[in-house]
Amino acid sequence: MSASLVPGDAFATPGGGHGLLDAIRNRYLLKLLVRKELRVRYRGSVLGMVWSYVKPAVQFAVFYFAVGVFLRMNQTVPNFALYLFSGIVAVNFFTEAFGNATRAVVGNAALVKKIYMPRQLFSVASVYVAGVHFVPQLVVLVAGALVVGWRPNPMQLLAGVAGFGILVIFSLGLGLLFGAVNVLVRDAENIVDLISMVVSWTSPVLYHWAQVAAVLGTGPGWAIYQLNPITPAVELFHYCFWAPTNGVVYEGPPGLAMWTAFAFLTACLTLAVGEIVFRRLDARFAQEL
């Protein structure tokens, strides 16, 4: 068919359309991209998906002996191994989803330059892959929780879902924002690595929130600490998986419900800003790559 016979509305302008909604609606393309990412990641690997267990296991072992044994956190926090691992699972999902989404467009440069599709698909697929790796860790977490008497109530299960929702929305929003900027300025990847490192230490993963409150108090310093949306999300994971186990008398941080709502709103605002920036820069992707 000649170009003159193709109606004008058959062409799509980069950055036009419905953006992220179009990416979500193209489920078939999303599945193809997820499969491609998984194949590329484990190409030539002997262990394959087993790395989803090995990496967090090694990370947990190092942190447990460094903080739990040497610094004796396992004597002050009951079931510290479960407390630690529930935080690691949450932070690992965020750092993987955020980092991969940032590199998604650049990593798929060949597709970006050859064909047009909603480019947000690349970021969404990266978050989806992080979710695939999250599932094995979640299975291990639940198994460990059951061993120490995990008996959650509906509110605690809902808290876990809410925490995961915050992680998904926030990581996707940041991934869209930095993924678009990364096409123009590759320094964005280094900034993402720094953010991921900071998040690991400014969330209550290796320590208890009460230790932070003892130093900062519950005034302005505490409010600044809670501005990080990952902090309430990690605490929601603790409330879901660690709190309803044997020997734990759970006392949540002050204002957890309020800070959870703030984290959710911050994540949604980040997603909106990330989508706006991504769509504004979308038309330049093919040229810059």
pTM: 0.88
Q: How confident is the model at residue 240 (pLDDT cuts 50, 70, 90)?
A: very high
| Proportion of the chain in helix, strand, coil states, percent, rounded to 5 | 75, 0, 25
Q: Check pLDDT > 90 for residue 87.
A: yes
Query: Is it the case that residue 241 has pLDDT exceeding 90?
Result: yes
Answer yes or no: is pLDDT of 8 > 60: no
Q: For residue 196, is pLDDT > 80?
A: yes
Q: How far apart are CA 15 and CA 229, in angstroms?
A: 28
Average pLDDT in the 143-158 region?
A: 92
Residue 1 pLDDT = 46
What average pLDDT does this structure show over 209-219?
87
Would you say residue 48 has pLDDT above 70? Answer: no
Tell me which range, 45-49, 108-112, 244-248, is most confidently predicted by mean pLDDT: 244-248
Among 14-23, 73-82, 113-122, 196-205, name the most confident range: 73-82
Which of the four pLDDT bands, split at 50, 70 and 90, describes residue 88? very high
Contacts of 90 (CB under 8 A, 6+ apart): 163, 164, 167, 203, 205, 230, 233, 234, 237
Dist. CA 278–CA 37, nearest whole Å: 21
pLDDT at 201: 81
pLDDT of 25 higher than 90? no
Give the integer Cα–Cα distance in Å for 3 and 219.
Answer: 65
pLDDT for residue 111: 77
Question: Is the pLDDT at 15 greater than 70, yes or no?
Answer: no
Q: Please give the Cα distance from 142 to 153 (Å, whole number).
A: 14
Judged by average pLDDT, the poorest of 27-36, 89-98, 120-129 is: 27-36
Q: What is the 3-state secondary structure (H, E, C) of the chain?
A: CCHHHCCHHHCCCCCCCCCHHHHHHCHHHHHHHHHHHHHHHCCCCCCHHHHHHHHHHHHHHHHHHHHHHHCCHHHHCCCHHHHHHHHHHHHHHHHHHHHHHHHHHHHCHHHHHHCCCCCHHHHHHHHHHHHHHHHHHHHHHHHHHHHCCCCCCHHHHHHHHHHHHHHHHHHHHHHHHHHHHHHHCCHHHHHHHHHHHHHHHCCCCCCCHHHHHHHHCCCHHHHHHHCCCHHHHHHHHHHHHHCCCCCCCCCCCCCHHHHHHHHHHHHHHHHHHHHHHHHHHHCCHHHHC
- pLDDT tens by residue, 264-278: 999 999 999 999 998
Q: b/e map of 68-100 (b: 16 or more CB within 10 Å)?
A: beeeebbeebebbbbbbbbbbbbbbbbbbbbbb
Domain boundaries, the chain: 18-38+47-288
CA distance 171 to 180: 14
* pLDDT for position 247: 86
According to the model, what pLDDT value does residue 270 have? 95
Of 23 and 75, the one with more pLDDT: 75
